[in-house]
Amino acid sequence: MANEERQQPLRLGSIAPNFKAETTKGPIDFHEFIGDKWVVLFSHPEDYTPVCTTELGAFAKLEPEFTKRGVKLIGLSANTIDSHDGWIKDINEISGSNLNFPIIGDKERKVAYAYDMLDYQDTTNVDSKGIAFTIRSVFIIDPKKTIRLILSYPASTGRNTAEVLRVVDSLQTGDKHRITTPINWVPGDDVIVHPSVNNEQAKELFPDFKIVKPYLRFTPLPKEKTTAA
């Protein structure tokens, strides 16, 4: 394959490749689906498998929290839409959820190849022909269609939906204010003044900021300004 044809690896900052696909909610053009929202695109290995069933139920239950933040969920596996449709009934029954987000039917693995989601490690994570299924990938994509987070979990390990939501909160907060978020941060905790902000600017932006070391400055987030009615 000529160099220019070789697919570039997807990295943080890459534009999410566009694709057309069938989903449980009908056909989509991915960039149109993103529109002006954030998107969590996540793959699972296979329908009707135990860990995946718990994961999809958990994402379905947390969907209202993603929606509040302007985030759309979309799942994917190398199974058919008919298979997804049948399995969603089980997910809802088992988890007490009402799974509403689309799941892509990527039997041909077109999207899985484009997003490098295939399992190159677990020889049990294959279909009846021995062709690799997907790993548990997560992509957080912003409204400019830029990839902001990539996670890869093996088939054996279920993800943590609260962590995916926490990263959304961190990214959205960081985009709004000139801050970063420390280890184990959750909304409400103090944040870190971005290294590009000098102390003079920090005094203006974050009057209560504290200098622990010249390179480590904590601050509460400024209170949201409310407009008088």
Active site residues: 52
Q: Is 135 in the site for ligand BEZ (CB under 6 A)?
A: no
**CB of 128 vs ligand BEZ, minimal distance in Å:** 13
Residue 124 CB, nearest approach to ligand BEZ (Å): 6
**Is 125 a binder of ligand BEZ (CB under 6 A)?**
yes
Based on the shown chain and the rule CB under 6 A, indicate whether residue 43 belongs to the binding site for ligand BEZ.
Answer: no
Q: Which tokens in the block code for residue 165?
A: 């939501």
Considering only CA atoms, which of 118, 120, 169 is closest in space to residue 148? 169
Q: Which residues, 6+ apart, have CB-to-CB distance to 12 below 8 Å? A: 147, 148, 149, 150
Instruction: List the one residue from 91, 112, 155, 165 that touches ligand BEZ (CB under 6 A).
Output: 155
Residue given tokens 């002006």 in the structure block: 36
Least distance to ligand BEZ, CB of residue 40, Å: 18
Q: Minimum distance between the CB of residue 58 and ligand BEZ, rounded to whole angstroms? A: 13
Task: State yes or no: residue 126 binds ligand BEZ (CB under 6 A).
Answer: no
Contact 41, 98 (CB under 8 A): no
Nearer to ligand BEZ, 41 or 52 (CB): 52
| Closer residue to ligand BEZ, CB minimum distance, 50 or 214 | 50
Does position 52 bind ligand BEZ by CB under 6 A? yes
Task: Judge residue 198's burial from the number of C-beta atoms within 10 Å of its C-beta, 0-12 exposed, 13-18 middle, 19 or more buried.
Answer: exposed
Burial class (CB in 10 A: 0-12, 13-18, 19+), 217: buried
Query: Using CA atoms, how far apart are residues 31 and 16, in angstroms rounded to an integer?
Result: 8
Cβ closest to ligand BEZ, residue 72 vs residue 136: 136
Strand partners, 153: 136
Which residues of this protein are in contact with ligand BEZ, per CB under 6 A?
45-46, 49-52, 125, 155-156
